[in-house]
Structure 1
Amino acid sequence: MPYLYQDSKPRPAAHPGGARGTHSSGKGYEQLKQECLRRGVLFEDSDFPACNSSLFFSENPPIPFVWKRPGDIVKDPKFILGGATRTDICQGDLGDCWLLAAIASLTLNEKTLARVVPLDQNFGPGYAGIFHFQFWQHNEWLDVVIDDRLPTFNGRLVFLHSAELNEFWSALLEKAYAKLNGSYESLKGGSTIEAMEDFTGGIGEMYDVKAAPDNFYEILEKALKRCSMVGCSIDTSSAAESEARTPSGLVKGHAYSVTGIEEVSYRGQQVQLIRIRNPWGQVEWNGPWSDKIDTAAGHPSPKEMAASSLLCLLLRMKFEDFQMHFDKVEICNLTPDALEDSTAHKWEVAIHQGSWVRGATAGGCRNFLETFWTNPQIKLHLTEKDDGQDDCTFIAALMQKGRRKLKKLGAEMLTIGYSIYENPGRDGHLGKDFFRYHPSKARSKTYINLREVSHRFKLPPGDYVLIPTTFEPHQEADFCLRIFSEKKAITEDLDENIAIDLPEPLHPTPSPQETEEEKQFRALFEQISGKDMEISAEELEYVLNAVLKKTKNIKFKNLSLISCRNIISLMDTSGNGKLEFSEFKVFWEKMKKWISIFLQFDFDKSGSMSSYELRGALKAAGYQLNNYLLQLIVLRYSDEQFQIEFDDFLNCLIRLENASRVFQALSVKNKECINLNIGE
């Protein structure tokens, strides 16, 4: 790898709230704002310019949009007018209703809203045409800076807007989120839980209400005690059903928010009630336990429930009615740092970042056994049972990173999932045979092409291994795996520790009697080199290829001149750039071992080896490498079909041995690190 003297790219400034700045200048919101005020100009964001590329990547705008600042649209623009409410969220001509539903849920939680939408922004004194918003992305908070130029047509906002024509926080929030994801078009199509996670840093769960687990009431109860954001909705079977009102007053396709759940005593019986808020506020549940039902129909009036904490809620129903009328529930479980309520029951959280790299760690699902074992492996140690339970509850959420932003390059969401196995007590990477003979203990409910796949599990205390995968092998992506557990769980990458087991270098020694093989080599040497018995890289190329061609069980292609130069650099002890016959004999012993290893892992005897088998082949040669180094080597030495020719395998081993010998020579007392000067 090249030696990096200095990173010339400016590092983004940290935001006072703990979020990392993202502007390419390396400057934070306040610095950019003050510069504009000092110069007397309005901010123009070069990272997300007011042009068509920020709108669409697959087509030109269907109408001529004009980018305008709020002050050019209305006379008295406001950032937030009378508080952030559901009426501030009106959908425009972009298919991002999933985002709108998440923003509507966000308005129900003032503290969470204030983090995403800093409230100290306005169009009054100190206005500089710059605004900022904060989003969670892959285990860190980002501070996204934008200018306030918004796309309009005929003087009106085209996309998300407020019912109050002079209120702009929601339109600016949508623009910041579009910038985060590359363009407005990138926001077409998605799930509400995706945006809820980006607003909170939480883990999402989705439940089919009609097929919910038996303890679904308990799951919702615990979620609300942890201050989780909970949404629910009724499915539509066609576009015509969208926003259709049911006989009970509910609306299909709308996102409702669950805000409370409680078991109350009524007329000598325990009744489970659930509290729901309709962010759109236009219709209301008219079934049992609604405020419109009186005691004459056999239901309680509001006065009878005056002591209940569920009294003054807009929508209120029995839990069994909820299960009958709603189809989907989405839960966004918040991380401890997002919970300011000290009394809230908090999750324990563990996070792992990783990558699927073609040819190395992109093995696909269990259907592809030959490569499945090469996927990243995460060790999970469950130590404590849940309170009053025999098992340990945890949520495993696997997220593919950055795919929405890559839409403009043709990328789509990959189909992802994971499997969980009992760990037999091994510390290193589990091999192919383990998965051949051991079934999974648990797995994600399905493989699906969503940004995140999550599932709740209850397993006995013990050691497990979680395997995150794409469905098909050879698909590349970065991923983030998060584990939320009720009690503390210990997680770590089940990766190999780097270890090198090389024999002491052999020195040329005269043998009392030459073998038949040595006699043949000597004759060939004398024929090519002359009496000095030294050969150059070009001559070595001829010798080796001549010998390998005569070997019947080898289907190698010719070795390259570069390989022969590398061989001489490894074996030349005199430093004259040539190989003596005695040095060649030492190398040939290495060569025979490396040929044997290659043939062992060339399963189809084609003369090439699958790059997914490289881990085992290198280990047989004395090199135990971690995933990171393995990925780099595969990128360097494998072809487009994830195959490694013997010539490349040979070069890889020569490079590894050279590097190992240098490290051993420079290390002091077998330390795991060395200091190098520029000469070294």
Structure 2
Amino acid sequence: MAPTGPVLCKHRVGYVGVWRGRTAGGSPKHSSFFDNPQLRLRISNRQQELRVTLAQSPLHPGAGVHAVGFVLLSADEPAVARRTLGTPGGTHGYSAIQGIHPIPFTSGEERVDVVLKLERLKQDYILVPCTDSPGSEAAFALEIRSNYPLSLACLPKDGSPLPDPTAGGEQEQEQQQQSTSTPAPSAAVEIQGMATGISSARGYGFGNVGQSGVSEGEALLQKLQAAQFEDDAFHSLLTGSAAGKAGREVEWRRPRQVTEEPSPVEAAGVTTLLHPELHERAGGAPPGPSAGSWILGALAMLAQSPTLLQRCFVPGVHGKRGVLAVRVWHWDSWHTILTDDRLPVASGRLVSGGCADARQLSLALLIKAYARHHGSYAALRTGRVTEMLVDFTGGCSQKIELGDDGEASAVWEELIEIRDRGALLGCQQLAGADRAVEAQRLGVRTQSTYVILELVELSGLRLVCLRNPFLEPRWRGKWRAGAPEWFEGGDTSPLLGLQESGSEHAGAAVAEDESGVFWLSLEDFVRVFDRAHACRTFSRSTPRAVVFGEWDAGSAGGCLNYLCSWRRNPQYVLQLPCAARVFIAITQPPLLGSIGQRDYLSIGVCVLRGDGRRRLLTVTRDSLLGASPISDTREVSFSLSLPASTAEAPHIVIPYTFEPNETGAFKLSVWADVKFGLSPLAQEDEWCHTALAGEWDASSGGVPNPGNSRWQVNPQWEVAPLSQPTTVTIVLELAPPPHPDQPTPLALGCLVLRGSKASQQVDLIGPDDVLAQAGFARAAQVTCCVTLPASDEPCCLLACTFEPGQEAAFRLHLYTDQPISARAVQPDEVQSAPLGTSVAGSSFAIDSAASEAIAGSQQPRTDNAGEAGESEAGGAEASERPRDVPTAQPPEEEEAADQDTGHGRATAASGGPLRLLKKLPWRPGTPKRRGARRRGG
């Protein structure tokens, strides 16, 4: 059955099992259908295309093939008990089963290969592979490919629910989920070849009984040939090409061919040191991780934790047959990478991952499995340290930018907190300008990762202990081995203090350490290195919440720089019962291959002080509680201390892309020191939204100032009488909005006034008739919030530019807590004075200096996408290094909102009759510059 549609290969999951005995239940037309293996399928994208391949192989010699197929159903629960999906009936039983996706059976075919287009549901899909007739026994392999992440898990035989990986809040979910889905390789080969050629699995669970299909998978494994397994699908290539072995002096050897007594992988690599000579040879090694590569620094950091390193390897009898099984954290669950254990050797030494102790092969095996995961060794020439650490630990990455000496104290406190929480720590020098020259002078290797081993404070002296995995060059600055600083003070010398503190690396202060360990001061640390990075892991007892979402055409609003659209982003309510330390991470679906092929969006996340449980519409510096950097990496995170939230003022977490209209999926993860709640804004808590549109043309009158008798020609709307007090947030924006980097040519504003029906004559308006004022500022958007009283009379909205005759289109958004009705006031309803006449009763005027100031003001550039080299990209592939974007900052709060005048955020008092705006007895003021930084703190 030939598939149609594009090739889908970025993400792949699968399952290997058998139909035998009771599990050979036949098609839905038979009552035993529900005895077939049932698999839970979860997709991540709103609409996702999948390529599903089902292949079979006879269990017994001479047995024929069967008509096979699969049934796809929707489930109301994460796990579905058997015989609860419906009552089979009809010729083929399809129509009688609720939510079935009709996949026709193909008689006499060894495989079924189809492309499906599915929509993401609130519940999971249930996939049931089956034969047409009950009792038809065969082995089968199911493979599902997609360009977006997906997961496949076998449902328990007893129908009990599986853990829901998306559940969060008070119940912590185990990160090390056990799953039974196993991606098959090409379904064109027989089932035995499929079982042996499995390239990656999702928690394979060899021999794990009690779940449908797993014990059968173990039986298949036992049928493998006695010869050692070779992963022909991978070809063990260094280059990733079909001719990878040609012309290369590389041998592929089993661990016992590399060293006579290899250390068990469960214990190997804990105290090992990467062999520097293997990565310093010029031109002697075939393509692989190059000298100074990111991957070696990542493995050196991982080797500091025996527990985490040992957990990477999946134990089992498969190891005796030459099968290498390594666990990798992928998106939201553990996957198992399966390949052979042959390692590349050149000139008698390992090409990649060799250690000073030749018996230690664990790091070389990890690199082999990681190359299999990404498709080739060549794909590992560049990459990110933090991504690899997350893949092998299941933790979260965090970056700490190292600044000037004045920020050393803040850096120290942050590093101490991260260290105390058990994180792996490292640092890098990015080879940037003057800092790189100074680093090289002091013996620091640029573009390389150093391991942070210890942070020690001795009587106000703060010292950092590092390890250079490459040994050379040696540190030549202060506090080097044997430096005079260590011995000053006699009986109170820093050396004695270090020894008495119980430091494991005090010996490196006296003599050069053979493993590359050295000490330096905190001041030199922040002066020489550019960035520290951490991989944080969390215990099962740490409260955690995870939600999955996406930015689509309606919700991709961009960062806080985009004043007109950021509020469209997904918003989540964070309920925190007391003050606590919180860690927040936003993650994109993993992309495989070389770093140049991983085209991630620039993303970030912020926390704002909420106003009730409704969507936030405006932001000020005072409401911004914290924000991450914005970076085009897979994961962005930050930690912050938050006060307790209340029902009236919850914390609002907003993930965003840097630019608007960039679509994609994301995972939002939150950890805290106390139990908390995290949930999307409920639909019923959304504001009522009224969208109005208009434009200013050459006849528009500008601001209602004395001498400007044409201001009433501006667009006006009449808001119908309100039966109860109503909170209104008014947002006036240019359409389309200019880019944040571009100056805004107009000063715009909006007025809310008491009024009457548009057709009535209007008398002079006093100050009490003005309910609210938004603007006037040279900005793409102005806002204000007002609570309008209940009244039998309408009120009036006036949108205008500061100067008359300026042309532009605009949108006026009204966000209210009660439904309202607004109608446009027609031009013939407005009674305007003849041109050149003045308005009686006004007692103010704009002088020439103020007019010149208005004409010369413009919006300053908002902080946004400056570029910085990504230090974690390795070697000579500098052009592939991603950029980091500084944290987006909200604009300054408008002065009008800071004044208790009733023209900013105010509650309007009820009073006299509402009248249509015709005259203003006060001066609105001149435009203000958006985004200007406050001076003096």
State whether TM-score is above 0.5. yes
Amino acid in the other structure paired with 2:531: K
Map 1:277-676 → 2, pairs under 5 A: 277-282=467-472, 284-294=474-484, 298=488, 300=493, 302-303=495-496, 305-310=498-503, 311-313=506-508, 314-337=517-540, 348-357=543-552, 359-368=553-562, 371-385=565-579, 392-404=580-592, 412-426=599-613, 430=615, 434-435=617-618, 441-442=624-625, 444-462=627-645, 463-496=650-683
8 A contact 1:205–1:330 mirrored in 2: yes
Partner Cα separation in structure 2 for residue 284 and residue 107 of structure 1 = 21
Structure 2, unpaired ranges of 5+: 1-73, 75-98, 102-125, 130-141, 144-151, 156-173, 185-200, 208-216, 280-284, 509-516, 687-812, 821-937
Instruction: From the superposition, tell whether residues 7 and 239 of structure 1 become closer, same or farther in structure 2 (CA, over 3 Å).
Output: farther
**Residues 240 and 284 of structure 1, relative CA distance in 2, 3 Å threshold:** closer
Separation in structure 2 between the aligned mates of residue 69 and residue 43 of structure 1, nearest angstrom: 12
Q: 2:273 matched to 1:86?
A: yes
Instruction: Report the equivalent of 2:431.
Output: 236
Match of 1:170, SS state, is: helix
Q: Is the 8 A contact 2:486 2:494 kept in 1?
A: no
Which residue, out of 323, 330, 347, partners 1:130?
323
Match of 2:221 among 18, 35, 43: 35
The one of 414, 436, 445 equivalent to 1:219 is 414
- Give the 3-state SS of the residue equivalent to 1:280 in structure 2: coil
Deviation at 1:298, TM superposition (A): 3.0
Task: Please say if residues 228 and 331 of structure 1, whose CA atoms lie closer than 8 Å, have aligned partners that are also in contact.
Answer: yes
The counterpart of 2:311, out of the listed 115, 118, 121, is 115
Q: CA deviation at 1:476?
A: 3.0
Length-normalised TM-score, structure 2: 0.44
The answer to whether the 8 A contact 1:77-1:167 is kept is: no
Q: Which has the higher helix share?
A: 1
Cα distance change, pair 19–157 in 1 and its aligned pair in 2 (3 A): farther
Distance across 2 between alignment mates of 1:425 and 1:98: 46
Query: Are 1:191 and 2:312 an aligned pair?
Result: no
Say if 2:587 and 2:668, in contact at 8 Å, map to a contact too: yes
Quickly say closer, same or farther: Cα 1:55–1:305, change in 2 above 3 A.
closer
1:140 to 320, 333, 353: 333
Report the 3-state secondary structure (helix = DSSP H, G, I; strand = E; otherwise coil) of the residue aligned with 1:316: strand
- Contact kept? 1:22, 1:143, Cα under 8 Å: no
Query: What secondary structure sits across from 1:261 in the alignment?
Result: strand
CA shift at 1:176, angstroms?
Answer: 1.7
Residues 40 and 157 from structure 1, CA distance in 2 versus in 1: closer, same or farther, beyond 3 angstroms?
same
* Alignment CA distance shift 1:371-1:444 (3 Å): same
User: SS at 1:87's partner residue?
Assistant: coil
Deviation at 1:396, TM superposition (A): 2.0
CA distance in 1, matches of 2:593, 2:550: 17
**Paired residues of 1:384 and 1:488 also in contact (CA < 8 A):** no
Q: Determine if contact 1:33/1:130 at 8 Å carries over to the other structure.
A: no
* TM-score, normalisation: structure 1: 0.59
Distance 2:221 2:391 in 1: 29
SS for the counterpart of 2:295 is helix
Q: Show the counterpart of 1:563.
A: none
Partner of 1:541: none
Task: Verify: 1:99 aligned to 2:282, yes or no.
Answer: no
Judge conservation of contact 1:259–1:275 (CA < 8 Å) in 2: yes
Q: Distance in 2 between matches of 1:348 and 1:16?
A: 12
CA-CA distance at 1:371 after TM superposition:
4.7
Compared CA separation, residues 98 and 32, structure 1 to 2 (3 A): farther
Query: Once the 2 structures are TM-superposed, how far is the Cα of residue 17 of structure 1 from its aligned partner?
Result: 7.2
1:635-674: per-residue Cα shift (whole Å, max 9, x none)?
xxxxxxxxxxxxxxxxxxxxxxxxxxxxxxxxxxxxxxxx
From the superposition, tell whether residues 469 and 179 of structure 1 become closer, same or farther in structure 2 (CA, over 3 Å): farther
C-alpha distance after superposition, 1:3-27 (max 9, x if no partner): 2474334756799975435631475
In the TM superposition, what is the alpha-carbon distance from 1:114 to its structure 2 partner? 0.9
Q: Which position in structure 1 is the counterpart of 2:183?
A: 24
Aligned residues: 473
1:454 Cα deviation (Å)? 1.7
Q: Aligned AA for 1:349?
A: R
Whole-Å separation in 2 of the counterparts to 1:207 and 1:418: 16
RMSD (CA atoms): 4.5
CA contact (8 A) 1:64 1:153 kept: no
- Equivalent pairs: percent with the same residue? 23
Give 1:413 shift: 1.6
- Kept in 2, the 8 Å contact 1:19–1:134? The answer is no
**CA offsets, 1:62-108, max 9 Å, x none?**
96457834269647473659941122685463357222211111111
CA distance in 2, matches of 1:290, 1:406: 38
CA contact 1:70–1:168 (8 Å) conserved in 2: no
**Structure 2 residue 464 is the aligned partner of structure 1 residue 274:** yes
Structure ranking higher in strand proportion: 2
Q: CA deviation at 1:55?
A: 4.5
Residue 325 of structure 1 aligns with an amino acid whose one-letter code is V
Matches of 2:549 and 2:523 in 1, distance apart? 42
How far apart, in 2, do the equivalents of 1:487 and 1:290 lie?
42
Contact 2:586 2:668 in 1 (8 A): yes
